[in-house]
Chains A and B, each alone.
Chain A
Amino acid sequence: MSLTNEQIQQALITKFGEAVFNFEETYGMLCFEAAKENNLKVLQYLQDDPELSFNFLTDLCAVNYPDNKGKELAVVYHLHNLRKNVRIRFKIFTSIDQPDVFTASKMFSAADWMERETFDFYGVNFVGHHNLKRILNVDEMDYFPLRKEYPLEDQTRIDKDDAMFGRG
């Protein structure tokens, strides 16, 4: 028995009503949003409902939209129902000043490091995570490098000493 995007959308709207919104289908994948307070409720429902049973967390990452005032950071979950082979994308937005989001690591062991990585690069504070510390960057780092406020080095800069870089 297959599961269509319309059925998923209908099930979510029946359960959560106005709390889930902005449904869209991009390249065949259903994508929707919820308020950040509700992320665990939605994830739990998606996992527990026998029809939906999205019990595989494919990916978790963050995106920084600096112009999106009050909702600068997005946390994106990619979920997969392996039995019926349907993928969905679920997003929550949070402000960059108070980036507190409930952790999904209690539900998915896979989320443990993915959340640490997200914290490491975007500073999303996953509330309830048992070991939220930097993972790929050094512990002493005091900024979140993948945020858009940190631009890459200017490729045309000329103030570098070439001898130090094996050139010239």
Chain B
Amino acid sequence: MNEHITLPEGSIEKHTTTLNVGPTHPATHGVFQNIMELDGERVVSTEQTVGYIHRAFEKLAERRNLYQITPITDRLNYCSSPINNMGWHLTCEKLLGVKTPKRVDYLRIIIMELARISDHLICNSIVGVDTGAYTGFLYVMQYRELIYEIYEEVCGSRLTTNIGRIGGFERNFTNTAFKKLEKFLKEYPKVLKEFENLFTRNRIFMDRTIATGAISAERALNYGFTGPNLRAAGVDYDVRVHSPYSSYEDFTFDIPVGKTGDNYDRFLVRNQEMWQSLHIIEQAYRKVQDFRGAEADVFHANVPEYYLPKKEDVYTKMEALIWHFKIIMGEVDMPKGEVYHSVEGGNGELGFYLISDGGRTPFRLHFRRPSFIYYQAYPELIKGGMLSDAIVTMSSLNLIAGELDA
């Protein structure tokens, strides 16, 4: 081919092609840029560029009161915002020494597990889309809608939820919320089964995902993998079990693990986790129903310094008015201390490292963002593979640009 082209004197013939994928490419599902070196269709190397939607959350947090930081956490992993919100509340509660009632813990678990299901559902159905199966994605979206309706009933919003407060929830779950939850619990297992039937033993899907994007357990640990990606490689590390928060120790569930750490195993682990989440929600719902008397209406802990009083009380009671004023004007000093708290997010261990110097805003807040940490492994995962597999690998890692760039 090159006989017709005269190369300038002294130039070296380049055998690879440089391809710029992203930052706004429909296949990358988010703002990700990769400059890939390709040999034919095989990936020789790649360099990721991140930071396109960096919003300086850590700096912003240094001037906000604790309750004002919750909306920031929404925008980390926006596929499962409630987990981020709860993680933040739990961090604050750990710093402040707030003990939450059991009913609050169980309600939180219901919401967190719903969020986990919606997160995994998106990730797995997108893996399906990238391997050429659009049906699954469109089909399951209406069931994610059911989850979003439950959020809406509890907190009023759907995607960036800002759900809950320090100490509990802003209002009790309504009967409609429980009705919607029952509907979800009744309908979803059938759908999940169908979704699995569509993919799990599908020849095309298996051929596309098995042995692509694989990582060994040892490398995964060294790369700081957590969550389903680590479990797919065979390490049974789950924050919910290792450092239980929000009364996860009261529940029985399994930690699904994979073996090879490839795209197929990640898919299977996420699917299994959805079943486990369903199982946890059922248990939690039963426990919530078992509360009797005054306990059955508890939805927040007694922390007047941080929990906004009811509006009716603010207008009629002195005490409530004072607390309302103090909270809104940010006149409550935090105790001094350093605390690290982590929760099992949709895609891994989401950690909050909060340093308070006794002021009204955090002195320093650092988010341990799982996808920022495991995205480093991407070049290693796709090296030598096909370009089309690289796209599947990216989806199957469950990368969320909002979390990556913070």
Contacts and interface: CB of A to CB of B under 8 A. Distances in A.
Specify whether A and B are partners.
yes
Interface of A: 26-27, 29, 31, 55-59, 61, 63-64, 76, 78, 82, 85, 87, 89, 108-110, 112-114, 117, 121, 134-138, 145-146, 152
Given A26-B338, A27-B94, A135-B50, A57 B353 contact: no
B51 interface: yes
A113 to B, nearest CB: 5
Nearest to B404: A136
Contacts of B364: 63-64
A64 B365 CA distance: 11
Contacts, number: 87
A110 B223 contact: yes
Given A26-B337, A152-B63, A58 B223 contact: no
Contacts of A134: 51
Contacts of A61: 353, 366
Given A31-B338, A109-B377, A146-B58, 18 more contacts: A26-B337, A27-B338, A29-B340, A55-B221, A58-B349, A61-B366, A78-B353, A109-B222, A109-B223, A110-B223, A110-B373, A112-B376, A113-B373, A136-B54, A137-B54, A145-B59, A152-B62, A152-B63
Given A113-B372, A113-B373, A152-B59, A59 B366 contact: yes
Contacts of A138: 51
Interface in B365-391: 366, 368, 372-373, 375-377
B152 interface: no
Given A27-B337, A82-B221, A136-B51, A59 B372 contact: no
Contacts of B221: 55-56, 82
A89 B59 CA distance: 22
Interface in B316-360: 337-340, 342, 349, 351, 353, 355
A135 B235 CA distance: 29
Contacts of B51: 134-138
Contacts of B349: 58
Contact of A85 (B219, B242, B339, B351): B242
B59 A108 contact: no
Nearest to A85: B242
Contact of A59 (B223, B243, B351, B376): B351
Nearest to B377: A109
A133 B221 CA distance: 24
A163 B54 CA distance: 25
- Main secondary structure, interface of B, reads mixed
Contacts of B342: 58
Contact of A109 (B372, B376, B405): B376
Interface string B51-82: 10010101110110000000000000000000
Closest 4 CB pairs of A and B: A110-B224, A136-B51, A61-B366, A136-B54
A113 B339 CA distance: 23
B243 A26 contact: no
Interface of B: 50-51, 54, 56, 58-60, 62-63, 94-95, 219, 221-224, 235, 237, 242-243, 337-340, 342, 349, 351, 353, 355, 363-364, 366, 368, 372-373, 375-377, 405-406
A76 B364 CA distance: 12
19 contacts: A26-B337, A27-B95, A27-B338, A59-B340, A59-B351, A59-B368, A61-B366, A63-B363, A82-B221, A82-B235, A82-B242, A89-B340, A109-B376, A110-B222, A117-B372, A121-B58, A136-B50, A137-B51, A138-B51
Given A85-B242, A137-B54, A145-B56, A114 B351 contact: no
B229 to A, nearest CB: 13
A89 B219 CA distance: 23
Nearest to A131: B47
A109 B351 contact: no
Given A26-B337, A121-B58, A145-B59, A59 B353 contact: yes
Contacts of B368: 58-59, 78
A81 to B, nearest CB: 11
B222 A108 contact: yes
Given A31-B338, A78-B353, A89-B340, A114 B59 contact: no
A55 B372 CA distance: 19
Contacts of A87: 243, 340
A56 B338 contact: no
Contacts of B340: 27, 29, 59, 78, 87, 89
Contact of B339 (A27, A145, A152): A27
Given A76-B353, A78-B353, A152-B60, A57 B224 contact: yes
Contacts of B219: 109
A78 to B, nearest CB: 6
Contacts of B377: 109
Contacts of A89: 338, 340
Contacts of A63: 355, 363-364
A63 B338 CA distance: 12
B340 to A, nearest CB: 6
B85 to A, nearest CB: 20
